[in-house]
A and B are shown apart, each in its own frame.
Chain A
């Protein structure tokens, strides 16, 4: 597995002098997190042993409630009744995919490293909820979008996964690499 710490996210021309951290407005900051590894996991959670094996390999449970995440060594987001996204920023993240694949091989699961196909945008600041609400039909009021929740939806018509961190302060937006350029431009404009 390649080391992601020096990885390019493909948006270098667009971010230019801003680098990977950018002040989008007085109340919103953006950070492109290319070093976070992204693993897509698919498998039937009803199958005996799959959840236990995944939990042993990852050091934390898979969320089985819709639109939930679990925190621990990694952040695991629920994507569907048989699909998850593992976001890993641990030093040995490169080995997580292999370990997970080995642990789950007997359980009919598929593990795919999708780090190169998706970009993780980290948005923080008091204006984030209002900014996201400009381009998304989800309800971002703290009453509706709670800390640790995630949801897939459309943001400015691009398919995204949106997750609110455990503190309820910053959002992660995961978008397809090919839409990242467009979405970043939209965010700058909308902010």
Chain B
């Protein structure tokens, strides 16, 4: 069981959260200008590092906010959690 430090609620059990994949994927400003390969790269291709990974999580049973976690995919150690920029920053 991981103990995840929600940027709003504090430390909570892993079961309160849901995983949202790699962080930092930005939707292209002009999708129509992309080639099929570039679009597919945005849609489907993700890094799968052994080690530090920045990823999105949602505190789905708590405050229901999205935030980021830097987690080691080998040891599961969480280096830190961070709020996302923009409207949801709170």
Q: What residues of chain A have their CB less than 8 Å away from a CB belonging to chain B?
A: 66-67, 79-83, 137-138, 151-154, 159
Question: Given A81-B90, A82-B90, are A137 and B63 neighbors across the interface (CB < 8 Å)?
Answer: no
Between-chain CB contacts (< 8 Å), 24 pairs: A66-B8, A66-B10, A66-B63, A80-B8, A80-B63, A80-B64, A80-B65, A80-B90, A81-B8, A81-B65, A81-B88, A83-B64, A137-B12, A137-B15, A151-B9, A152-B61, A152-B63, A153-B12, A153-B16, A153-B61, A153-B62, A154-B15, A154-B16, A159-B61
Cα separation A151 to B12 with both chains bound (whole Å):
10
A-contacting residues, B28-76, CB 8 Å:
61-65
Residues of B within 8 A of A159 (CB): 61
Main SS class of interface, A? strand
B61 touches A81 (CB 8 A): no
- By CB atoms of chain A within 10 A, which of B16, B62, B88 has the most? B62
Main SS class of interface, B? loop
Cα separation A138 to B16 with both chains bound (whole Å):
10
Cα separation A153 to B64 with both chains bound (whole Å):
10
Interface size in chain B (residues, C-beta < 8 A): 14
Question: Given A153-B16, A154-B16, are A66 and B9 neighbors across the interface (CB < 8 Å)?
Answer: yes
Closest to A45 in B: B90
Residues of B within 8 A of A138 (CB): 12
Q: Which residue of A67, A152, A154 contacts B10 across the interface (Cβ within 8 Å)?
A: A67
A79 touches B63 (CB 8 A): yes
Cα separation A151 to B10 with both chains bound (whole Å):
10
Cα separation A67 to B9 with both chains bound (whole Å):
7
